[in-house]
């Protein structure tokens, strides 16, 4: 699928400014949409939107169908009368530049609970009908998710595999008993999802009115501690007690000499194939209702994936296992038609992976930070070698910022030696013909001027921020997903400069 020539910004909603310690779907999200439009951008890309669990990673969500309640705008609830102004005025000051997830959860969730109680008592009949309609339309996943979260809360947020055996195994009597016992809590979790999808839908409409399309991220793998693994253990490689037998990862790569041990459960593709991959069809359908373009994270896993014994502590002893391949995508297309997809084809990419992507017509990805090393793949990442059906990034959420990359300021950033990094930077500077005073703008110009149909720049690169603004360092468990944009950073000068460059290169 070829997309019209365009450009945009990568910024996860949690990184938006705001007074509640985390970005949300309120006024700052609308202001960012206005910035995009004013800067001549027509794409807004973000990370997965699901509710995050331990570690706060959007790539290990408690459900692949649900939305993150931490993104719900409290201001919007106050405007509707489900919270009082005093509730928000008394909200303690939290860091402006980083998300303190623990503090945000402890302060924001009680207010969502309070708004639920007000909704139950005061919501107008039309509002209640909207809620009921949402629950009915979303029943295929919402019933399971809401019960999962209610039971999880009743167990002090413990993972499902250490619950009592009967509810862990979803025995019918246990499901009935817990559903009755926690009926109020189940409804509360449905209410959270109702608010998220309502607020997201309104923001999406606002973006569309300004010519902005949304690019959402769909990870191939899901979290073990999730509603989906709990409810469908037959689809994953688990033992009779529900414990993992093998897990996902990638072999040693640019980011880690021992590989990346992700720890996600692996699919039993043979089981999924029996009903035409119905679970995946529903997942694509739900995601397509939220976004305009879907980026499939770790696309190569559909051709072959790295399987690691669950007992291992690194990914080094894994093996490649053949994935579902073309049959899978044909089954999904049979149900949903052609989907607007981007294939994240980074990492160990073989001719077979390229052939699968090309046979489907999906654009692949090229990252400028990978274009100047000694790796043979660097040839493909240099802009003069691009094909049009490509999405170019200055960097991704897993990369250092462009300024941080140039400075080499992030320890453990790559498996390269200091000499290799020095040589890589020299190659980049010769290629760019730059004085490095504004390396981030040099990279942005290079991406925009390329023949790639789509060009995406992380907001940190637009602002020329260093390694302190990095979103994620693969292979580390702490300190990630926290960066936030400060409103004073977004100046008219930045907006005008990005708009001018975008116009020059016809995006």
Per the document, the length of the chain is: 507
Are 167 and 49 in contact by the 8 Å Cβ rule? The answer is no
Helix orientation angle between 278-288 and 139-154, rounded to the nearest 10 degrees: 90
DSSP codes, 192-244: HHHHHHHHHHHHHHHHHHTT-EEEEEEESS--SSSHHHHH-GGGB-B-TTS-B
Are 50 and 58 in contact by the 8 Å Cβ rule? The answer is yes
Strand, coil or helix: what is 126?
helix
The C-alpha atoms of residue 39 and residue 491 are separated, in whole angstroms, by 11
Beta bridge partners of 247: 265, 308
Helix/strand/coil percent split, the chain, to 5: 45, 15, 40
- Provide the phi-psi class of 215: left if phi over 0, else alpha when psi is between -120 and 50, else beta: beta
The C-alpha atoms of residue 342 and residue 349 are separated, in whole angstroms, by 15
Beta bridge partners of 45: 10, 215
Residue 235 CA: distances (Å) to CA of 4, 324, 329, 341, 389:
37, 14, 18, 24, 34
Residue 340 CA: distances (Å) to CA of 161, 245, 314:
36, 34, 35
Residues belonging to the active site: 297, 344, 398
The C-alpha atoms of residue 99 and residue 478 are separated, in whole angstroms, by 12
Residues near 426 by Cβ (< 8 Å), separated by ≥ 6? none
The C-alpha atoms of residue 47 and residue 54 are separated, in whole angstroms, by 17
Residue 4 per-residue DSSP state: P
DSSP codes, 321-357: EE--HHHHHHHHHHHH-S--EEE---SS--HHHHHHH
Are 336 and 394 in contact by the 8 Å Cβ rule? The answer is no
The C-alpha atoms of residue 28 and residue 110 are separated, in whole angstroms, by 22
Token couple for 104: 């945000």
Are 4 and 40 in contact by the 8 Å Cβ rule? The answer is no
State residue 307 phi and psi, 5-degree precision. Answer: -105, 125
């Amino acid at each position: 699928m070829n997309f019209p020539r365009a450009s945009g910004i990568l910024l996860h909603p949690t990184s938006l400014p705001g007074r509640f310690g985390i970005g949300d779907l309120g006024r700052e999200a609308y202001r960012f949409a206005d910035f995009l439009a004013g800067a001549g951008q027509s794409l807004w890309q973000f990370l997965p939107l699901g509710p995050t669990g331990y570690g706060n990673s959007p790539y290990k969500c408690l459900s692949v169908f649900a939305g993150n309640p931490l993104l719900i705008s409290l201001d919007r609830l106050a405007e509707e009368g489900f919270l009082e102004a005093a509730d928000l005025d008394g909200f303690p000051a939290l860091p402006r530049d980083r998300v303190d997830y623990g503090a945000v959860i402890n302060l924001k969730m009680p207010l969502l609970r309070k708004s639920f109680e007000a909704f139950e008592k005061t919501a107008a009949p039309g509002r209640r009908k909207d809620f009921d309609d949402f629950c009915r339309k979303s029943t295929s996943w919402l019933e399971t998710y809401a019960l999962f979260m209610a039971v999880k809360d009743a167990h002090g947020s413990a993972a499902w595999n250490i619950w009592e055996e009967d509810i862990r195994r979803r025995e019918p009597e246990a499901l009935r008993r817990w559903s009755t016992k926690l009926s109020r809590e189940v409804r509360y979790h449905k209410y959270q999802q109702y608010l998220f999808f309502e607020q997201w839908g309104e923001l999406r409409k606002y973006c569309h009115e300004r010519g902005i399309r949304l690019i959402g991220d769909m990870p191939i793998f899901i979290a073990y501690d999730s509603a989906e693994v709990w409810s469908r253990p037959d689809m994953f490689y688990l033992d009779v007690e529900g414990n993992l037998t093998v897990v996902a990862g990638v072999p040693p790569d640019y980011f880690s000499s021992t590989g990346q041990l992700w720890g996600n459960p692996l699919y039993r593709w043979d089981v999924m194939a029996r009903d035409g991959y119905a679970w995946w069809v529903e997942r694509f359908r739900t995601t397509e209702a939220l976004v305009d373009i879907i980026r499939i994270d770790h696309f190569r896993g559909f051709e072959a994936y790295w399987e690691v014994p669950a007992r291992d502590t690194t990914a080094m002893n894994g093996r490649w296992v053949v994935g579902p391949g073309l049959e899978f995508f044909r089954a999904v297309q049979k149900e949903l038609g052609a989907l607007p997809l981007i294939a994240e084809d980074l990492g160990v990419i073989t001719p077979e992976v390229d052939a699968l992507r090309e046979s489907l017509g999906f654009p692949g990805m090229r990252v400028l930070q990978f274009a100047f090393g000694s790796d043979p793949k660097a040839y493909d990442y240099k802009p003069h070698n691009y094909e049009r059906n490509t999405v170019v990034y200055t960097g991704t959420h897993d990369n250092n910022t462009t300024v941080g990359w140039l400075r080499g300021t992030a320890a453990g950033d790559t498996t390269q030696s200091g000499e290799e990094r020095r040589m890589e930077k020299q190659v980049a500077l010769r290629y760019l013909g730059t004085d490095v005073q504004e390396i981030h703008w040099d990279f942005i110009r290079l991406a925009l001027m390329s023949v790639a149909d789509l060009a995406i720049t992380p907001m940190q690169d637009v602002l020329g921020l260093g390694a302190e603004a990095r979103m994620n360092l693969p292979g580390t468990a702490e300190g990630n997903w926290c960066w936030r944009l400060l409103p004073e950073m977004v100046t008219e000068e930045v907006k005008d400069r990005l708009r001018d460059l975008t116009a020059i290169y016809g995006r």
